[in-house]
A and B are shown apart, each in its own frame.
Chain A
Amino acid sequence: MNFDFSDDQKSLKDEARKFLTDKAGAKVTRGVLNDAAISYDQSLWKAVAEMGWLGAAIPEEHGGLGLGRLELCVLAEELGRAVAPIPFSSSVYFFAEALMLAGSDAQKAAHLPKVASGETIGCFALSEAPGAPTPASIQAKFDGATLNGVKIPVTDGDVAGWAVVVAKEGAGVSLVLVDLNQAGVTRETLKTLDPTRGHAKLAFKNAKAERLGAAGQGWELSEAVLDRAAVLLAFEQVGGSQACLEMSVDYAKNRYAFSRQIGSFQAIKHKLADMYVAIEVARSNAYYGAWALSTEAAELPFAAAASRAAASDAYYLCAKENIQTHGGMGFTWEVDCHLFYRRAKLLALQAGGPAAWKENS
């Protein structure tokens, strides 16, 4: 057994950390938060594309770096740590994974190089209403050539050029690939808990679309995409949780109350230790998920559910207790705690809420 990343993967992580410390971080995330007109940071997106990260797991023949999913996990953790305000997860964990999983050679050749270069932003559209979707609840309809219906919310749907949409086709469900820049598509930007990422309501009216994968296989494919995305999101969640813990530790060492560092009080020590324990449990589950993802193991559905449940719980705990550790300052807009608190909820919901994943595991 070797339950750790390789030296190469670790040095990739170090590089990614250095790069994001320089190019991303709270200041960049706040740039998006404070500007209602934008929902991602274009220069960070460009820089990440130039580093090749968007194509890290895309095969070389399709313009990617051809690295494995483990490398992508390493990058995900660092992006999560930086609360990066870019549509990375939608484009890479959902859209590209769906194409690699179900796309024809022609579809892969047409889209993957553009995802890898950053030219195309992709997204994944499943949700239509409050509550966990089921094959029976899907209302969007594909007739073999055109798509009708509404998807809400679609993470990064306001900036994406293409979408993979889960739609009803006859009695079954199919995945369909849709160009969002066409007359049959209207977008409405949504107000969400995490304004550092874009969200839209997408309405399709006789929109031209093509099937992705076999007809009637859409639900199984959608679940397989969600399993993959769940593992990658879990790494973002672990990265975000870790950042919260480090902020808290730093503050607890430097803030004084009752003429003592607040970190010298057991109430704070135990809180931070609880955060650490939750993160380590989440990290280990995520590593197991990474192994299952990178080896296409049969255990992936379980490993993905466990990764997701542990990471969602850890990030929520760490984000809220980070605010608490910072006291009143933690509840101000100018201190970064709420960026994590907001992102924690988005990442817990983006591939479906934790309750449904716990049900699956």
Chain B
Amino acid sequence: MDFNDTPEEAKFRADARAFLAANCSPKGSDKERLSRRLSTDEYVKAAKAYQKKKAEAGFAGITWAKEQGGRALPPIYAVIFNQEEGKFDAPSQPFAIGLGMCVPTVIAFSDDATKERYVAKALRGDEIWCQLFSEPGAGSDVAASKTKAVRDGDDWVINGQKVWTTGAQFSDFGIVLVRTNPDVEKHKGLTMFIVDMKAPGVDVRPIHQASGGREFNEVYFTDVRVSDKARLGEPGMGWNVALVTLMNERLAVGGSTGPDYAEIFELARNMPGPSGQGTLAQDEAFRQKLADWIVKAEGYKLSKFRTMTALSRGQTPGPESSIGKVINANHLMDICNTAIESMDHYGIINDGELAPMEAAFHQGYMWAPGLRIAGGTDEILKNIIAERVLGLPQDVRVDKGVAFKRSAERALKCPLRRAARAGRALAQAMADVG
């Protein structure tokens, strides 16, 4: 065991740092503040240019095979690059999902011609990808997806609706999970396709989130044609394909997301304590909490290194990597809530010009509830830990052995308007199927 870089790793880290210093501004700089005011179009343009530079310098696809344009380095090198990149205002976000989840899925499940068409362009920053899994009636239960694809000659025709699609508004391609056979159990009737997001019949609409932002989208499919060549994996094997993508999502979503213990410690050094004596940083109750946050954040970070070590030995990342998501969202929410409450009445002010630390804690407070849900809710991830890591018996599966179109009838009783709409669409779909 050695927590220090090997000479090779240290050299790589120095190279990465030099590349980043030459191409990005450090966090907290005036330039970073300006970059936050970019429009989405401008940001995406900057992200594409940055991704291109990364690829040219050999910092894209660090772990990917050489024939895919990667460097075939062990995963620890990707960790090192991410650590260094995290210190800079690098516009890498638009590519996170595509290169982290979608394209690796494409690589794993498609033929050489398909890989040739898509992989290099994604890596070089020419094309952006999104992931289309969740639906109004299929969130935690992703395998209950109702969006359907029907075979028509050499093509498939997709109809339905996906939701919570990050980056759909500026993506070129997506991977979409659809039902191709409603007459078998839900997990067995799914198929994954590559879909052109600019194709006729694809309608992207932003979702107005509880936080006020509009980062996610609903995506409607109306008679969208995809070639059978765009299929990833065999028909009916879509669930297995999705699992590969989802495990990557849980690794990716678990990353750094907002202010952490260092930020609240900085805040506390400038904030009066609750007793009116000294600073908050001198308050005993606060210090105990701070210690808990440090231990948790560092423990999570170190656990990730252990996962990476396992990866670098050629082992597959297991469901234990789910702990990141369980820790991070609640950690963020707790830190932001404590920070806001420590500001007393002033804490209600959510204005970057007036609130401490440019309202970073307020943004985190409004964002964290979404993070607890995105990419697998706390409850689902705890079930994964309980069932797949600890080996506890599975919950009773009432839809086991039941054809999807029968089990889906129950879901028609959805309480919300949007869900009801999806329910009506499903009823129509079931009528169509006969």
Please list the residues of chain A having a beta carbon within 8 angstroms of any beta carbon in chain B.
126-127, 129-134, 136-137, 152-153, 155, 190-194, 199, 250-251, 254-260, 262, 265, 267-268, 271, 316, 320, 323-324, 327-335, 337-338, 341, 345-346, 348-356, 358-359
Contacts and interface: CB of A to CB of B under 8 A. Distances in A.
B344 A193 contact: no
B349 to A, nearest CB: 5
A193 B362 contact: yes
B134 interface: yes
Interface in B89-126: none
Interface string B317-359: 0000000000000000100010011111111111100101000
B208 A333 contact: yes
Nearest to A259: B399
A302 to B, nearest CB: 16
A257 B141 contact: yes
Interface of B: 134, 136-137, 139-141, 144, 163-164, 207-212, 271-276, 280, 285-286, 333, 337, 340-351, 354, 356, 362, 365-366, 369-370, 372-373, 377-379, 382-383, 395, 397-399, 402, 407-408, 410-411, 413-416, 418-419
A152 B373 contact: no
Contact of A327 (B212, B340, B365, B373): B373
Which residue, of B366, B369, B378, B399, has the highest number of chain A Cβ atoms within 10 A? B369
Given A332-B210, A345-B365, A346-B348, A259 B340 contact: no
Contact of B415 (A255, A331, A337, A338): A255
Contacts of A134: 272, 276
A130 to B, nearest CB: 4
A353 B344 CA distance: 4
17 contacts: A130-B343, A131-B273, A131-B343, A152-B349, A153-B349, A192-B351, A193-B348, A258-B397, A327-B139, A328-B134, A329-B416, A331-B370, A332-B207, A333-B208, A345-B348, A349-B347, A351-B345
A255 B402 CA distance: 19
Contact of A329 (B349, B397, B419): B419
Given A332-B208, A341-B210, A152 B413 contact: no
B377 A194 contact: no
A127 B346 contact: yes
A356 B402 CA distance: 56
Contact of A131 (B139, B212, B280, B379): B280
B292 to A, nearest CB: 16
Contacts of B344: 127, 130-133, 349, 352-353, 356
Contacts of A352: 344-345
A267 B345 contact: no
B415 A254 contact: yes
Contact of B276 (A132, A337, A354): A132
Given A327-B140, A349-B341, A353-B342, A191 B349 contact: yes
B379 A268 contact: yes
Contact of A258 (B141, B275, B346, B382): B141
